[in-house]
Chains A and B, each alone.
Chain A
């Protein structure tokens, strides 16, 4: 079996980072990534950038349903129920 540890470089890390954050890497590969991160400041920063990216994307949703939209939808509901 090939020893993945000797083959995973920074360019490889950025391609498995999503699976790493999702926790879907094989235990062996996850371990290899972690060993790389221990010694590589650049990749540690990259993983952190991806975490921040995911969090920032999550902020794109509005907080609340606007009042007039809620009213319009409830009115539509009443009409349908009456009909």
Chain B
């Protein structure tokens, strides 16, 4: 591993949003990593490992493969840290490596969808749920959604409920699964998702909306059962 960190110059990179740049905290962390400081690596693992695993699950079929993807990513991070130039945040850089590793592995594991699955223009809610056009109450709820605030916590938090969510995300078209995992599991902001996945803000908005709508529908089928 390199002993010395090569940082990017002071040039302004207009393609990177300001929030995605290297923070002082991350700069120190990178320096310590390059110096072979084990506690710096431990801190990084502590910060990102579970999020990386959750995201990798969207790309590959099994948890075991996802774990392999994350470990492969950590090795790539350690091997590449001396070439990291600080043009994006460390987090974005690490997750980009994860996405690349997971994509390669996902293709190999044949968890791939036709290109047509990328475009999903379906409505958020089954049109049957609304009164049809041309009559009174057109496009209003035929039967109102149930009140989930009345559901007991132990049902909301149950492993069955989490399984339903997990399966619903696995069934999404890949781009939707990636965006919802990054936004709602990993907790990335929209800028970070755009920087990591290379999707425009507008497409991300649509993908997130479709994904959340589908997961909601799956939960509704589960709760109303």
Tell me the A residues contacting B by CB distance below 8 Å. Answer: 9-12, 14-15, 17-19, 22, 24, 40-43, 45-46, 48-50, 52-54, 56-65, 69-70, 72-74, 76-78, 80-81
Contacts and interface: CB of A to CB of B under 8 A. Distances in A.
A57 B213 CA distance: 12
The A interface, classified by DSSP as helix, strand, loop or mixed, is helix
Contacts of B79: 80
A74 B139 contact: no
A56 to B, nearest CB: 5
Given A11-B123, A45-B146, 16 more contacts: A9-B139, A10-B139, A11-B139, A14-B124, A15-B209, A18-B208, A18-B209, A45-B145, A45-B147, A48-B148, A49-B145, A49-B216, A56-B219, A60-B165, A70-B45, A80-B1
The B interface, classified by DSSP as helix, strand, loop or mixed, is helix
Nearest to A78: B38
Nearest to A72: B71
A66 B212 CA distance: 29
